Every structure is written in structure tokens, then in C-alpha cells.
Amino acid sequence: MRLSRNVLAQVKLAIVGGGCGGSAIAARFSRVLGSGQVAVIEPQKEHYYQPGFTLVAGGIMQLESLIREEKDVLPSRVKWIQSSVDEFNPSKNQLKLSNGETVDYDFLVIATGIELRFDMIKGLPAALDTKGVCSIYSPKYAQKTFQEIQSFKGGKALFTFPNTPIKCAGAPQKICYLAEDYWRKHGIRDKVDISYNTTLAKIFGIDVYADALMKIINSRGIKLNTRTNLIAVDPERRVATFELLDEKGKTVEKEYDFLHVGPPCSSVESLRKAAANKDKLVDANGWVDVDPKTLQSKVYKNVFAIGDCTNTPNAKTAAAIASQFRALKKNLSAAINGKPLTAQYDGYASCPLVVSSNKVILAEFGPNGPMETLPINQARPMVISYWMKKYFMPFLYWKLLVKGYWNGPSTIRKILHLGLTK
């Protein structure tokens, strides 16, 4: 029912974003609050299992297996508003939609994810549609990536990691390993000069996994260039320009025959607009400013956030969202019922590092180092970790997480580790 000329809906809980985190919250609280009390604002008709894009690009999975209709992911009790938010107005408990209509709410969860910013690299948007240039970070270009890997006959192959926050920070190197593995198995490895060009000071942030990855880098003849940032692509000359972050003002040009780009990322436009207006909902860069443990807004106590859109210090991964969900569902329920917030997100994230067509390093970590679930050496590339990545994790996502039932691996970890001490 339309409440007035401009108010499209008035709900107990509004959720902006129908991806991983938004769907989980919607499923959970539609069961608690009842039909019609939860609205999800999400413009996209299709819901993707994004962690699978790397495997599509490596020729291991088909894109069709990663897609569900959004209407089938969201529970029937949820009001799905197929639109986008143009403006947040948390002081009035109101959202302005792109069509000018508004949604009023009592509580708000922001789950807008992260925006791919190919436009931040000069020449890249056009270059992505030229031969040899690709990125696993979108459905279209994930498929193109495998086509480029298959058709590549040798030359210079560049892989890049950006100078911004990025979803799944391990993905740009995963596709590097998968491509190298494919070219080796198809007899052209000796014709390929491969380099991984990262803005970071080392291959991975957690030492135990960085050490394992460096063994792979060295054994497979991949050149590692640190503190280098891709800033421009010239597809006519087939040249990529990098700035050297430790040498102010200095750039280098590198010829390429194959270029995979890990794109710069930012918060979505509506949150960047809030930052420009100096709204205290977000920090200066447009990330939702929340308490990193409770996930509650530092200013607006009826506002929470989950996932890549927040300024929590963890890696931006689907596994982090699962652990955030565990804390957020308890704290949001407490807030709705006027009780103190007691649950805390522990900073957990995970990155299954695919290093070949059948092995994975199962990296799990938090702010103080590894937070591993299995009582084994997870820094070792293993087939069992690969099978988990390919089969078990998609099952967890579709059957448990987006349905509001998966709390992350903390319970499994406790059971396994307690069993070892008995």
C-alpha cells in the first residue's frame, strides 16, 4: 500500500542491498518480524555467487551455475523494492530512491557491497573490450578471461592488484596461478613471461600464507613486482602504465600481450555522496562508519551495516560477512527490543587461495594472524581445500548463508579444537 504521494513503503527494517549480507539479514529478520515488515532495496534481478568468478575464469566452473534469480533468493515475506537508493537520510529514518520515492524505516541495515571502479584507470573501460585485456571481477569479463587464457599463444602476461580496498584481495593472484597452470599444461609456459604487479609490499598480508605463496611464485617462475600501481592502459600500443609508489612521481610503461586487471574499488555512489555532504553516517571515503565489533553506526543507533560497505579493518570477503552476520543478527535483535548490544564480530575473514586447477591454500585469519578451522596445516596447498572451494562453499552460500542460517566457522572451530584437547 502506498502511504502518501512520495512514500513507497514504511517498514520496521529496511535493508539496502540484496547480495550476500543483505539476503542473510532479510531471511533471518523476516522470520522474526513477520510478513511485510522487512524491505530490501536491490535493483539487480540476478544474484551471483561471486566467489566462483575465479573458477569460471580458470575454466573450472560454468557461469550459469553461479546465478540465481533475486526473487528466488529473497523470502516471500520480504518486500523487494527493485530500485536503488539515491540518498540516505538517517536523521529522518528515510531513504530516497532513484525514482524520487522514499522508504521510511525504524531500523536500517546497509549492505550495499563495493563498487568496481574500472573508470579509475585511464583507458581501461574501453580496453576491457579489446583482445588480451580481462578481469575476473564481473560475470562478463570472468568468462572473457578464460577465453583469453585459452587463446593466448605466448608473450608478456601482466597481472595487477590496485591501490584501493578490493573485494577478495587474493583473487588477482589466484587467476595468475590458474593461468600459469593452464599454460604449463598446454605446453606454452616457456613462451610466457609472467609478472604479478601489486601495490602491496609483499604477496599476502599474513606471513604464514605469504611464505607459502612465495614458494609457489619462485618455483613457477612468476616475477613479483611490489609497490607498483596500474594507472593507465593503452590498448592500441598494448602498453600498461604503472606508478612506482615508493618513488614519488615516477612511472614505468610495460608492454603486454595479456593483461588481467584487479580493479580499483570504492563505496557505492550513494555513500560517496553522503561523504561529500559530510554525513556522519560514513567516513571520509564513503565507507559506513560502524563500531568494528558491534557493526552499529557510531552516530545513528538504529543503523547497522554488514559486508564490504563498512570501514571495519578486515579483508572484504564473503567469509567475513558470514562471521559478521553472527554478531549483527544478535545486536540488531537486541536494538529492536531495546536491550544492550553484547555480540562482537571477531574480525575473521577467509581467502581460499586457488594455486592450481586442483589445489588451494585455505587462508583463514583475523586481526592477530591465522584463525584456522581445521586441525591441519592450512598453509599447505591441498586437494581437499580445493574440493571445499569448488563444492562445499557454494553449498554453504546458497543453502545456509543467504537463508540466514550460517554463522561462519566459529562453532565448527570450537568443536574440532576442543576435540583435540580431550
Cα atoms found within 13 Å of the Cα of residue 182, Cβ hemisphere only: 23
Pair 38, 133: CB distance under 8 Å: no
Question: Closest Cα to residue 359, out of 198, 215, 241?
Answer: 215
How far is CA 276 from each of CA 87, 128, 151, 281, 304, rounded to the nearest angstrom?
12, 30, 44, 11, 20
**Measured between alpha carbons, how far is 127 from 129 in angstroms, rounded to an integer?**
5
Measure the CA–CA gap between 362 and 215, rounded to whole angstroms.
16
353 vs 360: CA distance, rounded Å: 5
Active-site residue identified among 134, 176, 265, 351: 351
CA nearest 201: which of 171, 225, 219? 225
Catalytic residue among 20, 168, 176, 309: 168
What b-and-e string marks burial along 118-157, b requiring 16 or more CB atoms within 10 Å of the CB? Answer: bebbebbeebbeeebbbbbbbbebbbbbbebbeebeeebb
Which amino acid is present at 419?
G
Instruction: Give dist(CA 20, CA 400) in Å, integer.
Output: 11
Q: Catalytic site residue 168?
A: yes
Active site residue 351: yes
Cα–Cα nearest to 108, from 298, 332, 300, 302: 302
Residues tagged active-site:
168, 351
